[in-house]
Structure 1
Amino acid sequence: MKPASRLNLFAVAILLAVPATASAESARSLQKEFPRLEVTKSAINLRELQSGGVPRDGIPAILDPQFLPVSEVTGLGDDEPVIFLSGTCGAYAFPYRILIWHEIVQHDQCGLPVAVTYCPLCNTSMVFDRRVGGTVLSFGTSGRLRHSDLVMYDHQTETLWQQFTGEAIVGSHVGKTLAPVPARIESWRRFREEFADGRVLIPPSWGRSAYGRTPYEGYDSAPTPFLYQGRMPRGIDPMARVVRVGTRAWSLTWLRKNSPVETADGLRLEWREGQNSALDRAAISRGKDIGNVRVTRGDVDVAFSVDFAFAYRAFYPEGELVK
């Protein structure tokens, strides 16, 4: 059995429901599902949008997150990945075992309204400031993909937003970009050791998902990405991970061999072992070790993501990639 065919649960439903050459989006179909969306304002060709096999909010965002103190959390494997924010109000961790089923979590971090997002198909985790033009937005999943990446929508105007870049791509907010917020992506063990008084996202009471298991078993080893029809990157496997800061990226394999790395403009990139992939084995706690990455400038965290190489090249075809 090929690795790509081992995607299970709702991912299997997606594969069965949507052919590899899924039909492109049309203004009419978008308007039907998003009646307040200004489809005439678009930064892209609508044909670049594809159905991900689920309808609007078919993957439900968490809009009212609940947390428990680190000391009360059980069941998480030591090396399971979490993305977390820290500040004067404390540290908050968002386990991938939950994010992989919901993709968007609305949160208030020390008075800053943020959206914690994760697209499994691109392996992209980003935290965004939800404030746009004096309005605080909230986000849901549109059921659409572009370059295999999550397309979000805001509840206020139904504008469509690209999760990979934070850009508004269709709707009244076209021309605007969500500001990224620095966050760390590390293992549960590293988070709880550094922030013993931190708090951790728990599954919503209405959730019915198999938290702790990935619906994308084997996707790490897939020969090609799902529902991606663009050009593949040269000189690197399309499913290889890269560490992205702005428009620049470094191969995770290269960083692993050369860590720590310091750039001319003051960035420091470090790799340390001990973090499970969320897209490998069925149980996330048994996923292969992809390691922890930290990106700083001086003593300050810098916003970054760890993406699949195909996605980086799709959105930044001229970007600088050290591989």
Structure 2
Amino acid sequence: MNGQQSHRPSRRQAVKGAGVIGCVVALLVGGGVIGWQTLADRPSEPVTAVQPGQDPLLEALADSAVSGGPGKDGIPSIDKPRFVRAGEAGFLSEDDPVFGLEYRGEVRAYPQLVLVWHEIVNDTVGGEPLAVTYCPLTGTVIAFSAPPGVQELTFGTTGQLVNSNLLMYDRQTGSQWPQLLGQAVSGPLKGTKLDTVPLVWTTWKQWRTAHPDTTVLSTSTGALRSYGSDPYGSYDGYPDRSGYYATGRPIFPVLATSDRFADKDVVIGVRVGEERLAIRKDLVRTAKIVRAEVSGTQMEARWDDRLGTARVVQQVGERWEPADFLDSMWFAWYAFYPNSQVRA
């Protein structure tokens, strides 16, 4: 039944049960200690496990995978999502964050309070298989589809993390994909890049007002989860945050770090060809439009007052089209893309 907490140990219990004693953090799962980390031992200066001027190699990313606590599929994906009309989404409050999708003529909202417990929704939108993914540890939400020439893929959770980010696997080949990267780092599809579809962070009130015809992912998932509670913290009053989402360093290892911004600061990450750009989200909020050139392409990050979020478009001929962009905590974006350009 919905509304009940699962008894399966997970890293959410680890985060919720973390205790700090004498600057030592114990991560607890099912009453047992799975790891200790002395905060004083953490380096105060940026560290890197990659070559300067280069992003990590796929092999380095694959080798850096660590257990996040649960086993394979211990965080269950939603494989038969159910949607309700906006007027039937009584489980949502006005300030609850949702991830908005406009794609192939369909408009959908994926509540954060559902995805925080599942991380992957294997959906079909406009007749096309689409995996909607969310990693609470890095604040990244991305929709994926298989590129041309690759079979349709569905995804599950490996139970492991790369750069503190969800490591997915596809059920067709067993290849493994860090969610933020969107590229297979191991398995038969190693090197393959997924096609991405942007989603936007907004609140339920803003999304429903802008899209009264939206449908909403339901809490009727068939899983035992305490929807409405978040063991990581809170996005109440979005964009204000508390708990893990607000401050502190990542819990799990990362290949590279930078003190350019605070670890949990939100940036808008943009990918064009082989070049990357990180724009501090607050800059877009205040400036309304931030222009940049990436890989010879003119880009604009535009603030959407109606939804209280940022969108990125790129110039293609005489038109402006959606770019490949996403919200991300700074530490995660930098760990995958230390060679990224930055606009602050």
> What does residue range 89-108 of structure 1 map to in structure 2 within 5 Å?
89-108=105-124
Name 2:81's counterpart in structure 1: 65
Alpha-carbon deviation of 1:186?
A: 1.9
> Matches of 2:36 and 2:304 in 1, distance apart?
37
Alpha-carbon deviation of 1:83?
A: 1.5
The 1:46/1:205 distance shift into structure 2, 3 A limit, reads: closer
Alpha-carbon deviation of 1:8?
A: 6.0
> What does residue range 1-323 of structure 1 map to in structure 2 within 5 Å?
9=13, 11-12=15-16, 15-17=27-29, 18-20=34-36, 43-44=59-60, 46-130=62-146, 133-217=149-233, 218-246=243-271, 247-264=276-293, 265-271=297-303, 291-297=308-314, 300-323=321-344
> Matches of 1:76 and 1:266 in 2, distance apart?
38
The letter of the residue matching 1:166 is G
Q: Decide which moves more: 291-300 or 110-119.
A: 291-300
CA deviation vs aligned residue, 1:48-100 (integer Å, no higher than 9, x gap): 01000110011100011000011221131223221122245421111111111
The 1:86/1:44 distance shift into structure 2, 3 A limit, reads: same
The 1:122/1:87 distance shift into structure 2, 3 A limit, reads: closer
What 5-or-longer segments of structure 2 have no aligned partner? 1-10, 19-26, 38-57, 234-242
> Matches of 2:306 and 2:184 in 1, distance apart?
35
Checking the alignment, whether the CA contact within 8 Å between 2:175 and 2:188 is kept in structure 1 is yes
Alpha-carbon deviation of 1:315?
A: 0.6
Alpha-carbon deviation of 1:263?
A: 3.2
Structure 2 counterpart SS, 1:74: coil
Q: Runs of at least 4 residues of structure 1 off by over 6 A?
A: none
Alpha-carbon deviation of 1:134?
A: 3.7
Name 1:279's counterpart in structure 2: none
> Matches of 2:220 and 2:147 in 1, distance apart?
24
The 1:186/1:302 distance shift into structure 2, 3 A limit, reads: farther
What 5-or-longer segments of structure 1 have no aligned partner? 1-6, 22-41, 276-290
CA deviation vs aligned residue, 1:167-199 (integer Å, no higher than 9, x gap): 101111102011111333222122212221221
The 1:148/1:133 distance shift into structure 2, 3 A limit, reads: same
Structure 2 counterpart SS, 1:190: helix
Name 1:26's counterpart in structure 2: none
Aligned length: 282
Structure 2 counterpart SS, 1:151: strand
Checking the alignment, whether the CA contact within 8 Å between 1:183 and 1:303 is kept in structure 2 is no
The 1:88/1:151 distance shift into structure 2, 3 A limit, reads: closer
Q: Which has the larger helix fraction?
A: 1
> Matches of 2:151 and 2:301 in 1, distance apart?
34
Structure 2 counterpart SS, 1:44: helix
Alpha-carbon deviation of 1:250?
A: 0.5
Q: Which has the larger strand fraction?
A: 2
| TM-score (norm: length of structure 1) | 0.80
